[in-house]
Amino acid sequence: MTITVSPITPNFAAEIGDVDLSKPLEAADFADIQNAFWKYSVLVFPEQQLTLQQHLDFSQLFGPAETERTLDPKSTPSRFTGAFADISNLAADGTIWGENSRQRMYKAGNRLWHTDSSFKYLPALCSLLYGRTVAAVGGHTEFADQRAAYDALPDATKKKLDGLIAEHCIAFSRRRSGFAEFTEEEQRRLPPVPQMLVRTIPQNQRKSLYVASHAGNIFGMSEAEGRALIDELLAHVTQRQFVYTHRWRPNELVMWDNRCTMHRGTEYDDLRWVRDMRRVTISDVANSCEQEGVPLPAEAVAKRAAQRVA
């Protein structure tokens, strides 16, 4: 059976129907899904019944899955291990988390606009989030189109951004969401990394902004100047005309391209409703500066060398 692609907006977000992701896909159907993904950046697959393994199998058609978690599983256990990030409000034993749980404090950061794993030297290509049980009120996921936002910039701004490199770190965004207590081991694993501020998506040559709340400063600018530019770009990208708000239905899989979108979770009563979500994150092929062929600033090279020695 041929899949159906129903655009949600003309160039951003589409719903994919007539496909059962629990089964191996025919090559033509997978090619249609890939093409839709490069075009729309966010795909919604309603009514899927997926085991963890089936979720992972479909995800890995796009590349290798990340397995390293940000929070140390020794001090902060989660329901899942390996390739699965637990995006639910459930503790390791499956009950709703406590008001002061570390997972809860950490995940509050998902309410800031971000793109997954831009704080890793090798960032994420895409994320595949499967929602089994959804909150009755709130708990939506919003997506912002960083390609359309780039296209809409004045030429003078495009010129100014050309070749700029930002520094991303999970500690920047978590400090802003009120979570400041990474363990020493977690900090050591997650030092600041360089990423292009503008990147080109190889599959269609479209240019995209690549900002996120994980971005803290810009190489070659003072801290205040860099911060101001990042905040201005975050405000630009997240204007309503670039945003799609996804209201979840149970058993839905949503995938997004982390190279050219941002997303955030909206509020819900997480001490009342169960919101059972799990995510597989697929690694990109290289750091964004490497992909653009832009050499790392000397300062970033020195930092990386020091990290390797430490």
> What residues between 131 and 160 interact with Mn ion by CB under 5 A?
none
- For tokens 């996120």, the residue is 212
- Rank residues 48 and 110 by Cβ distance to ligand OGA and give the closer one: 110
Instruction: Please tell me what DSSP assigns to residue 114.
Output: B
- Rank residues 84 and 150 by Cβ distance to ligand OGA and give the closer one: 84
Q: Which of 19, 42, 87, 135 binds ligand OGA (CB under 6 A)?
A: 87
Instruction: Please state the closest distance from residue 70 (CB atom) to ligand OGA, in A.
Output: 11
- Rank residues 54 and 261 by Cβ distance to ligand OGA and give the closer one: 261
Told to check if 86 binds Mn ion by CB under 5 A, we report no
- Rank residues 147 and 278 by Cβ distance to ligand OGA and give the closer one: 278
CA–CA separation, 208 and 125 (whole Å): 14
Q: Which of 15, 32, 116, 257 binds Mn ion (CB under 5 A)?
A: 116
Contact 114, 213 (CB under 8 A): yes
- Which tokens belong to 18? 């007539």
Return the H-helix or E-strand segment holding 146. helix 146-151
Contact 118, 214 (CB under 8 A): yes
Q: Which of 170, 265, 283, 300 binds ligand OGA (CB under 6 A)?
A: 265
Instruction: Please state the closest distance from residue 87 (CB atom) to Mn ion, in A.
Output: 8
Contact 37, 12 (CB under 8 A): no
Q: Which of 59, 117, 118, 141 binds ligand OGA (CB under 6 A)?
A: 141
Told to check if 262 binds ligand OGA by CB under 6 A, we report no
- Which tokens belong to 69? 């978690």
From ligand OGA, Mn ion, none, interface partner of 186 (C-beta below 5 to 8 A by class) = none
CA–CA separation, 109 and 91 (whole Å): 17
CB contact burial 284-303 (16+ within 10 A = b; e otherwise): beebbbbbbebebbeebeeb
CB contact burial 207-217 (16+ within 10 A = b; e otherwise): bbbbbbbbbbb
**Interface characters, 208-237, with ligand OGA (x: CB under 6 A):** ------------------------------
Binding site for Mn ion (CB under 5 A): 116
Binding site for ligand OGA (CB under 6 A): 87, 110, 116, 127, 129, 141, 263, 265, 277, 279
